[in-house]
Amino acid sequence: MFDTVNIAVMGHGVVGSGVVEVINNHSQSIAKKAKKEICVKHILDLRDFPDLPYSNLFTKDFKDISNDDSVKIVVEVMGGIHPAFEFVKECLEKGKSVVTSNKELVAAHGAELLKIAGENNVNFLFEASVGGGIPVLRPIAQCLAANDLYEVYGILNGTTNFILTKMIKENMPFDEALKLAQQLGYAEREPSADIDGHDACRKICILASISFGKHVYPEQVKTEGIRNITLDDIAYAASADRVIKLIGHAKLMEDGKISASVCPALISRDNQLSSVEDVFNAVMVRGDAIGDVMFYGRGAGKLPTASAVVADVIDCAKHLQARKYLSWDEGEDDYVVPAETVKSRYYIRAGVENLEAAKEEVQSIFGDVAYLSRENSKGELAFITSLETEGKLYSKIDELKELKNVSVLHVLD
Amino acid sequence: MFDTVNIAVMGHGVVGSGVVEVINNHSQSIAKKAKKEICVKHILDLRDFPDLPYSNLFTKDFKDISNDDSVKIVVEVMGGIHPAFEFVKECLEKGKSVVTSNKELVAAHGAELLKIAGENNVNFLFEASVGGGIPVLRPIAQCLAANDLYEVYGILNGTTNFILTKMIKENMPFDEALKLAQQLGYAEREPSADIDGHDACRKICILASISFGKHVYPEQVKTEGIRNITLDDIAYAASADRVIKLIGHAKLMEDGKISASVCPALISRDNQLSSVEDVFNAVMVRGDAIGDVMFYGRGAGKLPTASAVVADVIDCAKHLQARKYLSWDEGEDDYVVPAETVKSRYYIRAGVENLEAAKEEVQSIFGDVAYLSRENSKGELAFITSLETEGKLYSKIDELKELKNVSVLHVLD
């Protein structure tokens, strides 16, 4: 009753197998929505999958996909930049729409690939690259189109949010929480991409690019992970009615440049993000007309991510000609201002021997600060500074003599 | 540099004037996104607006709009069903796309108007009708398209949420909170549409229709407001770590029918909705692949609502041919199951003279319940029942002899 659209899936890992599963399990409702029958014709993977009901669809040769003119939509869920970039580029140039969940690829080459897609009158969609299954990019691009957006930030990585939640709610030390996340399959055996903030960095790059119209590259974003957060920090934050979350953040400055960062930050319990727990993600967007809007849900996982990929496939199938609502300009070297020039308040914790002398020193260097307290905090001092640039903060920290082993976190107001 | 698209705005009240303001203030960025210059050619209003920079655009005659073939998009922000319905219908039949924020109209005639739009190959869009400026309907229809949705619920009315927040956080009695809401312009002088749940009812009808594919009419939804909520109820709820919110709720049943209701309910502090405060709204959607997704933001207000209307206008301008992603079937008489057959847990509060006798009676009629406590609760009993149908609950309440002046609220699990 409907025409058929052939698609190919490149990569049969967690997300790729989920994509095939979602398409097979929802074939009727998907056909009704797409007004087309969606048929998986090829699956590209270097591994063998001999025992699947669809084992006959596998190929190890990309040319089987790129040279098949009957394939109109290609799903790229291989991950990594090479050869994903070359494959995606070739598909777009051959007039195939591409859907990807590959944040690394989009964060590195989004503007370029969107341009190629536009020139070839096809779609390049990547809703699943940020927030997994949570609708974020399309709502920002379409529903908030009548706004001038000026800030976007959020909890963009489920693994680190799970770990921080365990630390906050169960007083579990970082190492133990990480081990638990690995046991539950939330963290990789080599967890650096999550723990050190690189995954969140790619996502804030994509969010900033789509919100402000110019590409932001991962190298431009100062990125800090959560390895150094201790239960003491959690306790001090709690005493100020705050929690520590890993926040990706981008903000439009008055001169049209932007600030962008990924770092753990103390956020107020009044902020909606403070109650986003476990592996959930949330993205807050601020616009001149709409005020604050937040999108919340599971930021990762096989089926949530696959369902976002398939929704993009449905959209492509309905609009095989380019829709072009997604596009942004190439970035520039000085588009993101240096982190040292960005103003923030800071949480500082340090070891002290002479408490009175230390407080005098803090007063003379930082002026009035808000001291925090926790149980058994002997030999230690923690406080929140007033607003200053990161550059100035670190030069002040260099002046400190009474405070040792200083650790610093951002405070998000 | 871009082609021009002429639009008309019907109704120059709060939202209508906001639409003109947003279009004028963002003309450049809107043109860039729509790839068209959007030009307001007519404004329909029976009142005179002699002193505006665009006073020349006003007309009192709908025919000036409907007969102007150069007008491709009509914004309906008059409110009410008549003559909005007739006007919208005629515009669609004449090949004009229509954008509306009118929830009353969409809840009453959505399926019919979507069908007419489809037949005439034009768009009928109404993102602003639910959640004001929060992107909700398009993300549900598009981004969650690869899910089977089975539940949608939320805080859909900002006025009642403001009042309940004042009651919860400041212990302000209902009457006083209502008066404050009226002073601040959040509530009308005749507040019934908000306070008695009718506004939320229209919104849950639209959400259920779009989520489950068949029209739900306001008459089919049991609707209860917040007039009878007392500070005692708030205190009892708090003792169980719950808050009282006005919840619009719809759920797909196993037989393909749905339950739908609007009522105040005790929700757990663990539920994301519990921290949605003041005039903010939030919609939670549950799908088989995605799990829980929540959309949060300002559910009303001139500029948020206007910005959602204008985003729909931009979408129409880019796609003057029908996009048809929004559609659902006409409803049916027995599609929504009777409220009496729906299972829930309930909060019950009642006056008692003999506490021990009352508890014995409760045990014999309700079995084990969870008693709640608050300060100075002498002569009173409050508890939460186990799961049962509303019909059975009320027949049990009829049996009570020791409990007087029984008040009942739903408990949302």
pLDDT score recorded for residue B324: 58
Distances B363 to A184, A236, B359 between C-alpha atoms, Å: 42, 46, 6
Q: How many CA atoms lie within 13 A of A80 on its CB side?
A: 9
Confidence of residue A396 (pLDDT cuts 50, 70, 90): very high
Amino acid at A401: K
CB B214 within 8 A of CB B328: yes
Same structural domain, A113 and A156: no
Q: Please tell me the distance in Å from B270's CA to the nearest CA on chain A.
A: 8
Q: Which of residues 380-399 of B touch A (CB under 8 A)?
A: none
Point out the domain boundary residue: B298, B327, B360: B298
> What letter represents residue A395's amino acid?
S
A304 CA: distance to closest CA in chain B (Å):
4
Within 10 angstroms of residue A35's Cβ, the number of other Cβ atoms is 15
Q: Which two tokens stand for residue B13?
A: 């009240």
- Report yes or no: B275 at the A interface, CB cutoff 8 Å: yes
The model's pTM is: 0.95
Q: Which residue matches tokens 């959930």? A: A280
Enumerate residue ranges in chain B where pLDDT < 50: none
Other Cβ atoms within 10 Å of B11 Cβ, number: 24
User: How far apart are the CA of A154 and the nearest CA of chain B, in angstroms?
Assistant: 13
Of B136, B146, B142, B266, the C-alpha closest to B203 is: B136
CA of A309: which chain B residue's CA is closest?
A: B146
A293 touches chain B (CB under 8 A): yes
B231 & B141 share domain? yes
Q: Are B33 and B22 in contact (CB under 8 A)?
A: no
* Max CA pair span of chain A: 82
Residue A110 has pLDDT above 80, yes or no: yes
Given the residues A96, A103, A203, A302, select the one marked as catalytic.
A203
- Per the listing, tokens 């500082």 go with A348
Termini Cα distance of chain A: 55
Per-residue pLDDT at B268:
97
Q: How far apart are CA B362 and CA B376, in angstroms?
A: 21
Separation between Cα atoms, residue A280 and residue A277, nearest integer Å: 6
Task: Give chain B positions within 8 Å (CB) of A298.
Answer: 290-293
Residue A156's nearest CA partner among A40, A252, A280 is A280
Count: domains in chain A:
3
Residue B13 Cα, gap to closest chain A Cα (Å) = 17
Residue A324 lies in a domain: no
> Do A32 and A81 have their domain in common?
yes
Residues of A in contact with B322 (CB under 8 A): none
The minimal CB distance from B297 to the residues A290, A298, A301 is found for A290
3-state secondary structure chain B: CCEEEEEEEECCCHHHHHHHHHHHHCHHHHHHHHCEEEEEEEEECCCCCCCCCCHHHEECCCHHHHCCCCEEEEEECCCCCCCHHHHHHHHHHCCCEEEECCHHHHHHHHHHHHHHHHHCCCCEECHHHCCCCCCCHHHHHHHCCCCCEEEEEEECCHHHHHHHHHHHHHCCCHHHHHHHHHHCCCCCCCCHHHHCCHHHHHHHHHHHHHHHCECCCHHHCEECCCCCCCHHHHHHHHHCCEEEEEEEEEEECCCCCEEEEEEEEEEECCCHHHHCCCCEEEEEEEECCCEEEEEEEECCCHHHHHHHHHHHHHHHHHCCCCCCCCCCECCCCCCECCHHHCEEEEEEEEEECCHHHHHHHHHHHHCCCEEECCCCCCCEEEEECCCEEHHHHHHHHHHCCCEEEEEEEEEEC
Interface test with A, best of B290, B294, B318, B327 (most A CBs within 10 A): B290
Q: Which two tokens stand for residue B6?
A: 């002429």
Residue A306 has what pLDDT? Answer: 96
Q: What is the pLDDT of residue B323?
A: 63
Per-residue model confidence (pLDDT) at position B322:
55
Question: Dihedral, CA atoms, A186, A191, A194, A195, nearest 10 degrees?
Answer: 110
pLDDT at residue A321, rounded to an integer: 66
Q: Does A35 touch chain B (CB under 8 A)?
A: yes
Q: Please check whether residue A96 is in contact with residue A67, taking contact to mean a CB–CB distance below 8 angstroms.
A: no
CA distance B100 to B224: 26
What is the per-residue pLDDT across A40-62, written as a single tens digit (0 to 9) for each? 999 999 999 999 999 999 999 99
Nearest to B307 among A290, A295, A304 (CB): A290
H-state helical runs in A231-270: 231-239
The separation between the first and the last C-alpha atoms of chain B, rounded to the nearest angstrom, is 55
Q: How far is B12 from chain A (nearest CA, A)?
A: 18
How high is the pLDDT of residue A319? 80
Mean pLDDT of A313-318: 92
φ/ψ of B144, rounded to 5, equals -100, 20
Indicate the residue of A26, A288, A325 with minimum beta-carbon distance to B146: A26
Asked if B88 and B222 sit in the same domain, the reply is no
Give CA–CA dist A359/A361, Å, rounded.
5
pLDDT at B355: 94
Q: Tell me: pLDDT of A385 over 70.
A: yes
Cβ-Cβ contacts under 8 Å, A23 against chain B: 146
* CB pair distance less than 8 Å for B306 and A287: no
pLDDT score for B123: 94
Q: How far is CA A97 from the centre of its chain?
A: 24
**Residue B179: which CATH number?**
3.30.360.10
CB distance A139–B144 less than 8 Å?
A: no
Task: Tell me the shortest Cα–Cα distance from A151 to chain B, in angstroms.
Answer: 15
Q: Which of B15, B143, B243 best probes binding to A when mutated, by most A CB atoms within 10 angstroms?
A: B143
Question: CA B20, CA B39: separation in Å to the nearest integer?
Answer: 10
> Quick one: which of B28, B13, B8, B18 has its CA closest to B70?
B8
Has residue B226 been placed in a domain?
A: yes
Q: Are residues B354 and B369 in the same domain?
A: yes
Question: A294–B289: do the CB atoms touch at under 8 Å?
Answer: no
* Candidates A22, A135, A296; nearest CB to B143: A135
Query: Which pair of structure tokens corresponds to residue B28?
Result: 């450049």
Residue B406: which CATH number? Answer: 3.30.2130.10
CA–CA min distance B66, chain A (Å): 26
Say whether A228 sits in a helix, a strand or coil. Answer: coil
Helix (DSSP H) and strand (DSSP E) numbers for chain A? 14, 17
pLDDT higher than 60, residue A243: yes
Q: Do A289 and A168 lie in a common domain?
A: yes
Distance CA B72, CA B5 (A): 7
Hey, is A407 helix, strand or coil?
strand
Q: Which residues in chain A have their CB less than 8 angstroms from residue B135's CB?
A: 135, 139, 142-144, 293
Is residue B350 included in any domain, yes or no?
yes
How confident is the model at residue A323, as a pLDDT?
63
Q: Does the residue A325 lie in any domain?
A: no
Q: What pLDDT score does A15 carry? A: 95
Q: Least CB-CB distance to B144: which of A135, A148, A323? A: A135
Phi then psi dihedrals of residue A37, to 5 deg: -80, 125
pLDDT, position A325:
64
Same domain, A112 and A220: no
**CA Rg value for chain B:** 23
Give A136-186 pLDDT, tens digit per residue. Answer: 999 999 889 899 999 999 999 999 999 999 999 999 999 999 999 999 999
**How far apart are the C-alpha atoms of A144 and B117, rounded to whole Å?**
24
- Does B331 map to a domain? no
Give residue A92's identity as a one-letter amino acid code. Answer: L
CA distance A391 to B390: 63
Look at residue B29 and tell me if it is in a domain: yes
Rounded to whole angstroms, the Cα distance separating A156 from A282 reads: 7
Give dist(CA A305, CA A101) in Å, integer: 8
What residues of B are in contact with residue A34 (Cβ under 8 Å)?
145
Q: State the count of interchain CB pairs (< 8 A) between A and B.
A: 169
Contact check, Cβ <8 Å, A303/B296? no
Q: Which residues contact A363 (CB under 8 A, 6 or more apart)?
A: A369
The residue in chain B having the minimum alpha-carbon distance to the alpha carbon of residue A312 is: B143
CB–CB of B33 and A325 under 8 A? yes
Nearest to A304 among B29, B30, B289 (CB): B289
Looking at beta carbons, which residues of chain A come within 8 Å of B313? Answer: 146
Q: Which residues of B touch A308 (CB under 8 A)?
A: 143, 146, 290
Query: Which residues constitute the domain of residue B35?
Result: 3-132+302-318
**Which chain A residues are within 8 Å of B295, Cβ to Cβ?**
293-296
Query: Is B329 near chain A, with CB under 8 Å?
Result: no
- Residue A309: inside a domain: yes
B87 and B226 inside one domain: no
Q: Which residues of B touch A313 (CB under 8 A)?
A: 146
Same domain for A194 and A86: no
Judge whether A203 counts as a catalytic residue. Answer: yes
Q: Which of B72, B103, B203, B214 is flagged as catalytic? A: B203
Nearest to A350 by CA among A399, A410, A406: A406
Tell me how far CA of residue A263 lies from CA of A156, A157, A239, A369, B282, in angstroms.
11, 12, 21, 22, 27
CATH number for the domain that contains residue B60: 3.40.50.720
pLDDT on residue B321: 66
Cα separations (Å) of A379 from A236, A365, A382?
Answer: 14, 20, 10
What is the rounded average pLDDT for all residues in chain A? 95
Q: Is A139 helix (H, G, I), strand (E, B) or coil?
A: helix
Same domain, B91 and B145: no
Return the residue in B35, B36, B307 with the most chain A beta carbons within 10 A, the one to mutate for interface testing. B307
Q: Rounded to an integer, what distance in angstroms lies between the CA atom of residue B168 and that of residue B162?
A: 10
**Domain ends where: A250, A283, A318?**
A318
What is the pairing mode between strands B58-59 and B36-44?
Answer: parallel
Q: What is the mean pLDDT of residues A191-206?
A: 97
> How far apart, in Å, are the Cα atoms of B364 and each of B223, B367, B402?
31, 6, 12
Give the contacts of B82 (CB within 8 A, at least 6 positions apart). Answer: none
Task: Report the residue from A291, A294, A296 with minimal CB separation from B304.
Answer: A291
Sign of CA dihedral B200, B201, B206, B208: positive
Do residues B71 and B96 make contact, with C-beta atoms less than 8 angstroms apart? yes
Residue A127 pLDDT greater than 70, yes or no = yes
How much is the CA Rg of chain A, to the nearest whole Å?
Answer: 23
Contacts of A307 in chain B (CB under 8 A): 144, 146-147, 287, 289-290
How distant is the Cα of B222 from the closest Cα of chain A, in angstroms?
29
Q: How far apart are CA A69 and CA A88, in angstroms?
A: 15
Residues A192, A291 within the same domain: yes
Q: Residue B142: which of A148, A294, A311 has the nearest Cβ?
A: A311
- Fill in the DSSP letter of residue A337: P
Binary contact (A272, B318; C-beta < 8 A)? no
Q: Do B146 and A308 touch (CB under 8 A)?
A: yes
Nearest in space to B400 (alpha carbons), one of B375, B386, B381, B387: B381
Question: Same structural domain for residues B163 and B31?
Answer: no
Residue A172 is classified by DSSP as: -
Widest CA span in chain B? 82
* pLDDT value of position B232: 96
DSSP 8-state class, residue A35: T
B268 touches chain A (CB under 8 A): no
Write phi, then psi, for B338 (nearest 5 degrees).
Answer: -60, 140
- The arithmetic mean of pLDDT across residues A265-286, rounded, is 96
CB–CB contact B306 A291 (8 Å): no
Is A289 part of a structural domain of the chain? yes
